[in-house]
Structure 1
Amino acid sequence: MRGRLLDGRYELLAPIGAGGMGEVWRARDTRLGREVAVKLLVPGPAASEDERRELLARFRQEARAAASLDSPYIVAVHDHGEDDGIPYLVMALVQGRSLDQVLRESVRVPVADALRWAADVCRALEVAHAAGIVHRDIKPGNVMVAPDGTAKVVDFGIATFVERAAGDTRLTRTGQLPFGSVPYLAPERFRQEPGDARTDLYALGCVLYELLVGRPPFTGSAAGVMHNHINDAPLRPSAARPEVPRPLAHLILDLLAKDPADRPPDAATTLARLETSTSALPTLPQLQKDDTPPTIQDEVTKHCSTTTTATTAATSKAKATTAVSVSPAPARRARRRLLLPAALLLALGIPAGLGIRALATPDPSPGEATLEIGVAHSYRHVGEPSADGGAPDTYAKSEYRQFTTQQLRTVESAFAETLGDKHDGSRFRFVPVTANPDVSSRELLAEHPDMLAVIGDTVDFSWVHDTDEAFLPEISTCHEYAHAGGAFAIPADDARQGEAIARYLHSQTDARRVLVAEDKLWVNREDGIGTALRRNGVSVEALDVTPDKVKTSQIPSLVAEAGADAVVVPTGTPVDVWADRLRSGGFEGPVIGQGDQEGTCADSEDRSAEEKRDRALPDGVIRVRNYAAEPDDNLPARGNEELYDGALALAKALTALPEDDTAPTSLRHTLDRELQQVSVNGVQAEVSFEKRRSARQRPVWFDRRDEDHWTEIGKVSKKYTNSHPHDGPAT
């Protein structure tokens, strides 16, 4: 496809992205000598040649209508055509990032940014609706943020064409969902009604909710979310994030009304209510053409190419830092947040998966203290040196760039939200560090004496805090165990997972007696899964030996001797072996496996190995998941919400540090005490820590293995919530 010349004019240069509607390419308009974005649309199979001609005629009609829309808040359509039976659109090539990319990196955004972008989308919808065009697929991936901070909507008029291309019967076929992105679809679309301009307003409400809260109004399986859209009221956004103004929260709930008649009547009315909330906000300054910001990506790439061993990777990360200044001045803060998402070439709202550009804030002024926060990733993600002792291979460098770039941005976003107007004059430098068992905290602090804490994938640190000088607080966002003094953990630990499993069994099954496939010493410890199950009304038996001593042929008899009507297989015990042997032996009760402890931050090689194991699982196996990403999400989605919540807690604890104490050793101990008392509103739940330093009341998700993939079936926050509301109890 590269190099193809469409209609003798548009030369395809490089793919930008792909999605359900087709492919997007960066292209050159050879006639006008400019670069453009070309979207190739793939129509579905038509019943006849006449219907195909009608479909293409419809495409031309809608493309002309979209091209007539003249607004700075709509990505311009330059041309359209058909080449070898494939319809295509030619659009302006937008510099910037989609809101989907923004959310993947930042999780949620400042209220001011969310309001401005929502207002810009309203301006786009006002123009389109006046022309009789309903978008029908408003979602974060279809909204671009340009370098000057303007939000621009893409794909006007295309959703209707693609829906027709897929066949109108899709809307009436039993069990099928309507065209569009399920988290943002209005209830009337699920009721097989065509909808009108107010359908776009409902989707805007969903997008605005996600920008502010960090997740859409409803999450889970497609069927469960569909049920939620039709029947359930979302959590008030101000309950999840208290700084959301009450009028804005009311507007969002009005936009999300089930009945279109209860929503604002049009985009103009919605815009007026948004402008009331934004009238006191500062104006975003424009990025000048001569601004050439350095990038985190460039620094990371340069550093990674010089790394030869895992140990040196851990100790030399100071060369690849990004400084972040937290300023109380609203105008200055707005400019910094604008410049961070600069100039990744994307078009039509489909993430390119390319490098991400960012501005590092200036170096501290003379005499100003700089305190460092280590943002950790595993040495396994850096990769092994090549056979000749050279730099890691391409895979390792790519993984390293992706982890490091995203982690820095996520932590930075949480700090900006928490400290932006509360920590006058403070400056923090975020330093990517490699968690390596061969590098002690003493060695890391020798390299970074002003470091206050580390956060992220800290599992591979094997520190002994034997002296004050070696003490360094850490927040693990990839593992449920707070494995050392000074460590805190965000994901749900064994005790929390045991509690969640008990609630699942009580609400969804008749099983009340469980065999835990692990030795009694581990199962029955104070914070063990067996202890939690018992405390929540489930009888528990465990093995007399470690699981590796159990022969496969013994599994059915062990379950029978225990009188168990359910089996829980902890991490580390081969759930595929146990599940296969139990099912082949006729056991019909629930088989529940704990997900990979470190699955939150699994890289693509880890994920590949995990998927290989999963393919051996029989249908019906249940998995407990202690991270928020969807079952099949890979980088960069996994672990981002946990990292954001951990960073919120860390930033909140930093606000309590005494201003007159500048000694990092003393500050680290004070920070550790403050973290034990911290409480913040996270994206998924409140973040606070128990005496074991594990986060309290973290959500736990349940997935079921069906037809070679995982499907989310429920979640435990305070109680078990079924993601498939029409499903009956399991046995």
Structure 2
Amino acid sequence: MVWEAWDERLQRAVAIKQLHALPGVPEAEAELAKDRAMREARITARLHHPHAVPVFDAVEHDGQPCLVMQLVPSTPLSAVLRDEGPLPLGQVARIGGEVASALTAAHQLGIVHRDVKPGNILITADGKAHISDFGISHAMGDATLTRTGMIHGTPAYLAPEVARGEDASFPADVFSLGSTLYAALEGSPPFGSEGNSIALLHKVAAAQVPPPTRAGELTPFLLDMLSSEPDARPTMGEVTHRLAGIDADAVAPVTAPQDQQSPTAVLPAAAVVPSEAESGLDRLWDPQHDGEHGHPDQRAHDREPSAERRRRLSPWLLLAGAAVVAALVWLLASTLTDDTRGDTVEADGSSTGQTTPTAQPTASEPASPTTAAPTTAAPTTAAPTPTPTPT
């Protein structure tokens, strides 16, 4: 809960966030939570950045910790997206760049935000972005008061490793910011926003990220930010630099969503469990083979399956060519025969199922030329058979 208040000593308006322990939490754990909040407030107070909401003080009220912060008249990005829908690429890149610059400063101080999401990004009347709510952040190596097994953050924007129970680190903030940018461009986060938190966590842990359709030139880098492997993601400083390179007036064309047969990182949810999904992504995004950040260049990614299809298709094209030549020989020979030709055709026709190569290609391969001539491609064994002459 956040209150607008007046600082009587310094004569200025402030925002006060009151932190409450969860209902039913034992008194000892509630005391630990309060100590953790006060410690994290002191850590966050070290951060001074024009795009981060600063913490002025930490006090107790009725036994509950309260954070005294700068009052920033603004609208949460979540409300902007609700009212306006998906935003243009240039605007999203500018907002993301400002937030990334603040998070870069936080990371340099050893601070991990752990809950980057549209609701914690404040947009002022002049369009500037500010990242807020460092109340659950913690310094790297200073997590001794973190309750074992507790997941901090919002499921729809969590990094996969955090959803699997691992501790949040700098790459987790990169992933959460990538999810936020994805939501601002597409209208919803990569994993959706369904109300079933358990199902949502399953999707996040499985890292099922459908490629965006409105990100334009930012698409490859955004997928880098959303890589399933933390070490494959760019640093927050690299995110700041890349987003600064997007023109402020850029508007990306909307591309058609890729289907399941396309070479994407989408894994069918019903066909895998989280461990299988992770291994599938390892095969698609191998950091040792796929470039600096682990995600392959999109054009190379598209070329590789095409080359593979050509290799698989070559034997069938050769068989099809041989079948056509055999059919032409057979037709030439048949013009010299008498009315027994019909029996020969019928006998040869019975073998079409054994020589036609069209039964083998998979659904992901394009149709081969053999499917256009199912009756003439088969009589490869009948062509050399001599036609009996009348006696």
Bin the TM-score by the shorter chain.
0.5 to 0.7
2-structure distance, mates of 1:724, 1:167: 32
Partner AA of 1:101 in structure 2: A
User: Kindly, what percent of the aligned residue pairs are identical?
Assistant: 35
Show the counterpart of 1:407.
none
> Superposition pairs for residues 211-226 of structure 1, below 5 Å?
211-219=184-192, 220=194, 221-226=196-201
Deviation at 1:46, TM superposition (A): 5.5
Show the counterpart of 1:643.
none
Aligned residues: 259
Match for residue 237 of structure 2 among 268, 274, 282: 268
Show the counterpart of 1:187.
160
State whether residues 136 and 180 of structure 1, in contact with CA within 8 Å, keep that contact through their aligned partners in structure 2.
Answer: yes
> Superposition pairs for residues 205-244 of structure 1, below 5 Å?
205-219=178-192, 220=194, 221-237=196-212, 240-241=213-214, 244=215
> Superposition pairs for residues 662-673 of structure 1, below 5 Å?
none
Whether 1:24 aligns to 2:8 is: no
Distance 1:197 1:78, change over 3 A: same
1-structure distance, mates of 2:114, 2:71: 22
> Superposition pairs for residues 55-94 of structure 1, below 5 Å?
55-94=33-72
Show the counterpart of 2:11.
33
Q: What are the Cα deviations for residues 138-180 of structure 1, in whole angstroms up to 9, with x where unaligned?
A: 000000111222110001142559xx99972443xxxxxx232
Deviation at 1:206, TM superposition (A): 0.3
Deviation at 1:56, TM superposition (A): 3.1
Quick check: which has more Rg, 1 or 2? 2
Partner AA of 1:191 in structure 2: R
2-structure distance, mates of 1:725, 1:188: 15
2-structure distance, mates of 1:165, 1:86: 20
1-structure distance, mates of 2:55, 2:110: 17
Partner AA of 1:204 in structure 2: L
Match for residue 147 of structure 2 among 168, 188, 191: 168
2-structure distance, mates of 1:255, 1:249: 10
Q: Which has the higher contact order (CA 8 A, sep 6+)?
A: 2
Distance 1:274 1:191, change over 3 A: same
> Superposition pairs for residues 242-261 of structure 1, below 5 Å?
244-246=215-217, 248-261=218-231
Distance 1:229 1:62, change over 3 A: same
State which drifts further: 32-41 or 219-228. Answer: 219-228
1:277 alignment partner, SS class? coil
Q: What are the Cα deviations for residues 348-371 of structure 1, in whole angstroms up to 9, with x where unaligned?
A: xxxxxxxxxxxxxxxxxxxxxxxx
Partner AA of 1:262 in structure 2: A
Deviation at 1:245, TM superposition (A): 2.6
Show the counterpart of 1:99.
77
2-structure distance, mates of 1:126, 1:111: 21
2-structure distance, mates of 1:108, 1:725: 31
TM-score (norm 2): 0.60
State whether residues 126 and 268 of structure 1, in contact with CA within 8 Å, keep that contact through their aligned partners in structure 2.
Answer: yes
State whether residues 55 and 165 of structure 1, in contact with CA within 8 Å, keep that contact through their aligned partners in structure 2.
Answer: no
1:201 alignment partner, SS class? helix
2-structure distance, mates of 1:216, 1:74: 23
1:70 alignment partner, SS class? coil
2-structure distance, mates of 1:214, 1:46: 36
1:168 alignment partner, SS class? coil
2-structure distance, mates of 1:226, 1:54: 26
> Superposition pairs for residues 347-386 of structure 1, below 5 Å?
none
Distance 1:138 1:24, change over 3 A: same
1-structure distance, mates of 2:186, 2:36: 39
> Superposition pairs for residues 717-728 of structure 1, below 5 Å?
none
Q: What are the Cα deviations for residues 167-199 of structure 1, in whole angstroms up to 9, with x where unaligned?
A: 72443xxxxxx2321110011112211021110
Deviation at 1:107, TM superposition (A): 1.4
Structure 2 alignment gaps of length 5 or more: 259-267, 275-391
Q: What are the Cα deviations for residues 55-77 of structure 1, in whole angstroms up to 9, with x where unaligned?
A: 43332221111111100010111
Show the counterpart of 1:198.
171
2:210 alignment partner, SS class? coil
Deviation at 1:47, TM superposition (A): 4.0
Q: What are the Cα deviations for residues 396-455 of structure 1, in whole angstroms up to 9, with x where unaligned?
A: xxxxxxxxxxxxxxxxxxxxx89xx9xxxxxxxxxxxxxxxxxxxxxxxxxxxxxxxxxx
Deviation at 1:724, TM superposition (A): 11
2-structure distance, mates of 1:231, 1:207: 18
> Superposition pairs for residues 524-543 of structure 1, below 5 Å?
none
1-structure distance, mates of 2:103, 2:171: 10
Distance 1:254 1:681, change over 3 A: closer
Show the counterpart of 1:569.
none
2-structure distance, mates of 1:194, 1:57: 19
Q: What are the Cα deviations for residues 63-122 of structure 1, in whole angstroms up to 9, with x where unaligned?
A: 111111100010111111001201101111111211100110111101111000110111
1:121 alignment partner, SS class? helix
Q: What are the Cα deviations for residues 331-359 of structure 1, in whole angstroms up to 9, with x where unaligned?
A: xxxxxxxxxxxxxxxxxxxxxxxxxxxxx
2:15 alignment partner, SS class? strand
2-structure distance, mates of 1:250, 1:233: 16
2:245 alignment partner, SS class? helix
> Superposition pairs for residues 417-456 of structure 1, below 5 Å?
none
Q: What are the Cα deviations for residues 484-521 of structure 1, in whole angstroms up to 9, with x where unaligned?
A: xxxxxxxxxxxxxxxxxxxxxxxxxxxxxxxxxxxxxx
Higher helix share: 2
Deviation at 1:53, TM superposition (A): 4.6
2-structure distance, mates of 1:122, 1:723: 36
Show the counterpart of 1:174.
none
State whether residues 223 and 723 of structure 1, in contact with CA within 8 Å, keep that contact through their aligned partners in structure 2.
Answer: no
Distance 1:129 1:160, change over 3 A: closer
2-structure distance, mates of 1:165, 1:184: 24
State whether residues 134 and 197 of structure 1, in contact with CA within 8 Å, keep that contact through their aligned partners in structure 2.
Answer: yes
TM-score (norm 1): 0.33
1-structure distance, mates of 2:231, 2:120: 25
> Superposition pairs for residues 119-158 of structure 1, below 5 Å?
119-158=97-136
2-structure distance, mates of 1:723, 1:190: 20
Distance 1:263 1:230, change over 3 A: same
1-structure distance, mates of 2:43, 2:59: 14
State whether residues 78 and 119 of structure 2, in contact with CA within 8 Å, keep that contact through their aligned partners in structure 1.
Answer: yes
Q: What are the Cα deviations for residues 231-273 of structure 1, in whole angstroms up to 9, with x where unaligned?
A: 2442211xx22xx333x10111011111101111x21111112
State whether residues 52 and 131 of structure 2, in contact with CA within 8 Å, keep that contact through their aligned partners in structure 1.
Answer: yes
1-structure distance, mates of 2:123, 2:156: 21
State whether residues 209 and 216 of structure 1, in contact with CA within 8 Å, keep that contact through their aligned partners in structure 2.
Answer: yes
Partner AA of 1:200 in structure 2: D
Deviation at 1:26, TM superposition (A): 1.2
Distance 1:269 1:34, change over 3 A: same
1-structure distance, mates of 2:184, 2:120: 14
State whether residues 44 and 137 of structure 2, in contact with CA within 8 Å, keep that contact through their aligned partners in structure 1.
Answer: no
State whether residues 75 and 91 of structure 1, in contact with CA within 8 Å, keep that contact through their aligned partners in structure 2.
Answer: yes
Deviation at 1:28, TM superposition (A): 1.5
